[in-house]
Amino acid sequence: MGKHITLQVDGSSHDFDMADPTTPLLYLLRDDLGLNNPHFGCGLSQCGACTVLVNGTPMRSCVLPATAANDANITTLAGLGTPEHPHPVQQAFIDEQAFFCGYCMNGWVMTAVALVRDKPHATDAEIRHAFSGLKCRCGSHMSIIRAVKRLTEAA
């Protein structure tokens, strides 16, 4: 017997009947809801490409069972802002040209959103600690850190 869950994704409610309660949230977001972000990276919670905000907390959706997110507010990269009105973190990343390929963008942006919200005057050490465990193969790390510093120094 499956389990019925409701997910609040980017402001919209979605109902699912789960045949397998261990199905990762990432699969529902991408396969069932057709979202282009988050991405599947490692499938082991080691890269961050699948990061979403669950009730405001950055979570790796590749290992989070969808049933654990039942009734939670889930925000994806698409739910932060629009091209016309990007979220301040998205705008800072744009201003610093922080990404080359953008595959890892979910982890960095979603983590930065929580960091800037929770620690608006984050130190360099706090920024680096928040980003520990995120991977970027393109080497955009310094541009990403500059984007976050732009926001924390302006606060």
What pLDDT, on a 0 to 100 scale, did the predictor assign at position 30? 97
Count of the separate structural domains present in the chain: 2
Q: Are residues 97 and 46 part of one domain?
A: no
Contacts of 30 (CB under 8 A, 6+ apart): 36, 38, 40
Q: Are residues 36 and 18 part of one domain?
A: yes
**Average pLDDT score over residue span 95-109:** 90
Phi first, then psi, for residue 36 (nearest 5°) are: -80, -25
Q: Are residues 124 and 146 part of one domain?
A: yes
Q: Are residues 148 and 94 part of one domain?
A: yes
Q: Are residues 112 and 56 part of one domain?
A: no
3-state DSSP call for residue 148? Answer: helix
Q: Are residues 97 and 146 part of one domain?
A: yes
Contact 122, 115 (CB under 8 A): yes
**Average pLDDT score over residue span 130-144:** 90
pLDDT tens digits for range 116-125? 999 999 999 9
**What is the token pair recorded at 98?**
């922080």
Q: Residue 34 sits in which domain range?
A: 3-79
pLDDT tens digits for range 28-73? 999 999 999 999 999 999 999 999 999 999 999 999 999 999 999 9
CATH code for the domain of 74? 3.10.20.30
Domain boundary among 37, 57, 79: 79
CATH code for the domain of 104? 1.10.150.120
Distance in angstroms (rounded) separating the CA atoms of residues 131 and 155: 20
Distance in angstroms (rounded) separating the CA atoms of residues 136 and 134: 7
